[in-house]
Chains A and B, each alone.
Chain A
């Protein structure tokens, strides 16, 4: 199996974004995942989101670890640079890349094995540092490439394809991220593109660490009866708590909302996400309440989705570091090197 390029056929009538690019320009290589894989739907949503946001592809850094999910950055935005790092270590590579070039728009794609087992520590610390990136967990509760072992997000009592029952409690990345201070936490479902695209757009535009846990059923190893990560189960217990509409900086909020239910949140670049509460009890700006709500829902077996927590305006890694506003990687050498005279003066203290 080798890399397959998609033929570049562009219809002249295809819609173009502000950069004059069509959706096709945001596509990547041919997916090699199983037919019907939830990950491919997320890839499509990412393409849509990037196109709608007019992202300059070469400014995007796509990053991933190891696993089925981590293959997907090859399937979108082939004009964007990417890193397929080692297993579970994408967050550190992303942190370094963004430290060096703060103009990069970092999009990380990981899985539940990559993020919640081998890379759990790196994920936790990257979000604590509030480095600016969109971090998508394509969550299917199972190891695909090694053929069907439970992952750390598998629910207690969920059954494997071969009948084994999972006995360990799951790690819910959304609750974990809210508890650890993540500044943007959302959950989506690969089967609901209408909800997912605005979530991805808001996550990309959020200045800080945006974690989106996307339930993404594995059609080969975890889509059977008795699995709690199947399409059927997810659809049945699907509970959108907060719907998000993304509104770019220049646009007016056009959609009519009922009074009291809409909650516009302004992001650093002037764009807004308008949160619509489908569930009246939910407050996505209160960490403790958010965690309580999620845990209650989870005990009822509900899969709560939407923007679960948001804290715009928190200092990110560069703000904390007080870094220069321009990328460090090409900062003029003359301003980095103190020079011969400074060296001469400095050495007085070593005599």
Chain B
């Protein structure tokens, strides 16, 4: 193997519940602090202890953020998965394993270098406590990797100090384990390997963060005060983050009073009901959930649509259908969210691509919901929500003020003769709303049954239809309020890609790879539904458009066919739905294969 600097994949195979997360976090952060672009992806089971779990770190000097599709260095810490882990290593790669129990015959591949380190033995000799022996085994392989790859030991020392600030004994034990691994590698192997690291300056101005934390932080900055939820993987850490930040920023230091209220509901139906009640009463309110939760919330989503209550729903998508694979990623709820609930309903959706957009668009979600007085569904996925991404530091514009939309206050109500909740006064399909507790003239009865412009019950055809048609008009207004798509690549190309969300990294890398083979494409990343004119123009201006998404049924493509003027045969699907985050390979292959067929035909 020729030397590869700052451009390879490390994958660590662990058993869950052994404390590997902190070792892997330490490893990744060390590379990040050396200025080298990294991403970390966690492949974990729906289980608490004892099953296989993997952590994959892609080191990419070019800053590519998706999976590469290859593994160059496998740290095999789980004997149960040795065979599978060995198979996965790319030709010319390395496999590091715990040689306390030598497995020379089992771990044999001519094109892979096997590196055995007696990690358990070293830790058993060094530590007394049983738990420490297990935990430190993981930390010790970080030391081995530090020697093999040339990780800056000063960086590791600083990270340990910062991580275990108030626990000196932990700093000491961790450092001891790392040094132990480091020394062993130096004494037994030719360090560094052909794969190695060199410090860069590419991570300044960036942070490593997961999307759920970023979205939870966005909710704090948006001024959300009521959150209701029912725990569900992979969305749980979003509410955990919101609560954590609120404990830090929203508790009065003297009185201990909280400027937020988080309610753990009995199920997703109740969570959505609470959010609707809170939003009706005027609070910025949200619920984080995943696909099964969306299914349960659907009746209420239709209610909020028809009664025009501004709620924000975070759907951190996981693999469906049904319970599916709760700890794997997909973009499979597009259709379920876009048209959630019975009757004629259409909803505003947002598609963030990374944690940076999770923060930014979370704030936008509350503004949009209140501007439009409708549910806004924020569709991220497990890959964005739970994995560590390198993104530019978050900025906050101090001049930002929440856009609460059209709300009549007591003074306005005092001045008018009569208030009509559902009347289109301004011609944009968005009525004015009143809040309870403000003024008796604003009183009306919010109801999911047929209602008039005045907000009263009706079974009159014309009065019913008038409100329903205005809701359509409002959805038209939404087109120009939602975040615009982002365009990359050659604008003049006759071939295009439309994609969304966490496909972004894979699409961008595919664009570069295709360009290198002489194929130029332009790329439009939609960030919201309803689609606006930019999407329509992009579709019109390209001969062929590849739609890249992570589900089996081409849900984004179906929505484009239903909601734009595009001709059916112009769109070609590139689909990825096995539950793992996407890499560029299938996109490059899909497009190349299609173009080859076109030429042949």
**Residues of A that sit less than 8 Å from B by CB:** 1-3, 29, 57-59, 61-62, 73-74, 78-86, 89, 91-101, 103-104, 121-122, 124-125, 129, 317-318, 321-325, 327-331, 333, 335-340, 342-344, 346-347, 350-351
Docked complex: B244-297 residues within 8 A CB-CB of A: 245, 248-250, 252, 256-263, 265-267, 269-283, 285
**Would you call B459 and A338 a contact (CB within 8 A)?**
no
Q: Which of A124, A129, A333 contacts B223 (CB 8 A)?
A: A333
Stretch at the interface among B123-131, B371-379, B444-452, B505-513: B444-452
**Would you call B444 and A321 a contact (CB within 8 A)?**
no
**Would you call A89 and B270 a contact (CB within 8 A)?**
yes
Q: A92-B271, A100-B282, A330-B282 are in contact. List 8 more A-B contacts (CB 8 A).
A: A58-B437, A58-B438, A74-B445, A81-B446, A101-B281, A104-B281, A328-B226, A338-B249
Tell whether B62 is near chain A: CB-to-CB under 8 Å: no
Chain A residues lying within 8 Å of B303, measured Cβ to Cβ, are 85-86
Q: Give the CA-CA distance A339 to B394 in the complex, in Å.
A: 12
Chain B residues lying within 8 Å of A1, measured Cβ to Cβ, are 459
Chain B residues bordering chain A, tally (CB within 8 A): 79
B431 to chain A, nearest CB (A): 16
**Would you call A337 and B221 a contact (CB within 8 A)?**
yes
Chain A residues lying within 8 Å of B269, measured Cβ to Cβ, are 89, 92, 122
Residue of B nearest to A104 (CB): B437
Tell whether B487 is near chain A: CB-to-CB under 8 Å: no
Q: Give the CA-CA distance A122 to B279 in the complex, in Å.
A: 19
Chain A residues lying within 8 Å of B396, measured Cβ to Cβ, are 339-340, 343
Chain B residues lying within 8 Å of A3, measured Cβ to Cβ, are 452, 456-458
Chain B residues lying within 8 Å of A86, measured Cβ to Cβ, are 273, 299-300, 303, 448
Chain A residues lying within 8 Å of B276, measured Cβ to Cβ, are 85, 93, 96
Q: Give the CA-CA distance A350 to B447 in the complex, in Å.
A: 45
A77 to chain B, nearest CB (A): 8
Q: Give the CA-CA distance A300 to B285 in the complex, in Å.
A: 49
Q: Give the CA-CA distance A103 to B283 in the complex, in Å.
A: 13
Q: A81-B436, A81-B437, A329-B281 are in contact. Are A336 and B259 (CB under 8 A)?
A: yes
Question: Could you pull out 6 A-B pairs where Cβ atoms are within 8 angstroms?
Answer: A84-B448, A99-B261, A99-B278, A328-B260, A340-B398, A350-B207
Chain A residues lying within 8 Å of B283, measured Cβ to Cβ, are 99-101, 328-329
**Would you call B435 and A329 a contact (CB within 8 A)?**
yes
Docked complex: B295-309 residues within 8 A CB-CB of A: 299-300, 303
**Would you call A335 and B259 a contact (CB within 8 A)?**
yes
Docked complex: B64-111 residues within 8 A CB-CB of A: none
Tell whether B220 is near chain A: CB-to-CB under 8 Å: yes
**Would you call B273 and A89 a contact (CB within 8 A)?**
yes
Tell whether B427 is near chain A: CB-to-CB under 8 Å: no
**Would you call B225 and A96 a contact (CB within 8 A)?**
no
Chain A residues lying within 8 Å of B259, measured Cβ to Cβ, are 324, 328, 331, 335-336
Q: Give the CA-CA distance A288 to B281 in the complex, in Å.
A: 38
Chain B residues lying within 8 Å of A346, measured Cβ to Cβ, are 217
**Would you call A336 and B435 a contact (CB within 8 A)?**
no
Q: Give the CA-CA distance A3 to B463 in the complex, in Å.
A: 12
Q: Which of B277, B401, B463 contacts A92 (CB 8 A)?
A: B277
B322 to chain A, nearest CB (A): 21
Chain B residues lying within 8 Å of A104, measured Cβ to Cβ, are 281, 436-437
Tell whether B443 is near chain A: CB-to-CB under 8 Å: yes
Chain B residues lying within 8 Å of A317, measured Cβ to Cβ, are 261, 263
